[in-house]
Homo-oligomer: A and B are copies of this chain.
């Protein structure tokens, strides 16, 4: 139980505590909430009694009465082929930062991974559960429309993802298109003349990265080959190998949609005896911790995950206060290491 346990009388409710303190439940509630309407001495007695008995007010009851829970929902939609826990490293890191950031602001975090295909109603269900004061959605996946629908009637929602012209829901995210441009520019600056994009262009974020690369390719009049690749690490390896088998001589610069893909690509290139960056330049995206430990260390486009988490929480807090916030677009940053 607690450190000191001289209490035979179990005190579970505010009423129990009120009894042994010789006051009314209302007073206990006020004292514990630190309201100014109670006598300092009374408050002190109640607080010390509460500590002694290890009493904590029931959050559900409190939540019910106050019509707020102190809990923020975090939903991770697992789209299309992403079936399994793929979204991994990046999203999980973001989640860690989110947990810290929410804690700082006194909120708890309720995590839900959802498979939209099996459960079309996931977002309404989460919001309507009455368990959360607001929701953060990590990744738009292929649920753009659903999120838009909800955004109209529900203010306290912020989404991690890509921003599109005229979009109605509030997002925080990296400027993916700019990131794509930076990547392509770097590849060309490093001497590549025939580019390829490695990744699935279905999800909006990736589509934007691809579009950015296209911008540059068109401007510089350089060919850009799209090599559609699922992100599931199980299949991605083979898919990349197949792509390389088919197109290896046609390309000398690869922009991988994520560092994870880039790392797999590195392995596949090594297997084919192609040297990086001599034969092929490679740029990743994310700048995950392991990016500096690959061989060679990965040149990549950095997303500031910590800043993203801070942004998500800050915007959500403002929305909880009724403020109709704008989206927040973070600048990506080219990190040059040795792969390009």
Contact = CB atoms under 8 A, between A and B. Distances in A.
Interface of A is mostly: helix
Contact of A60 (B1, B69, B99, B103): B69
Nearest to A1: B153
A92 interface: yes
Interface stretch (A21-29, A106-114, A203-211, A314-322): A106-114
A116 interface: no
A61 B64 contact: yes
Contacts of A100: 85, 113
In order of increasing CB-CB distance, the 10 nearest A-B pairs are A58-B130, A92-B92, A56-B128, A85-B96, A295-B295, A60-B64, A59-B131, A109-B111, A60-B63, A59-B129
B124 A71 contact: no
A143 interface: no
A103 B114 CA distance: 9
Given A99-B111, A110-B108, A130 B263 contact: no
A275 to B, nearest CB: 13
Interface residues of A, number: 49
A60 B130 contact: yes
A93 interface: yes
Nearest to A305: B85
Contact of A109 (B56, B60, B110): B110
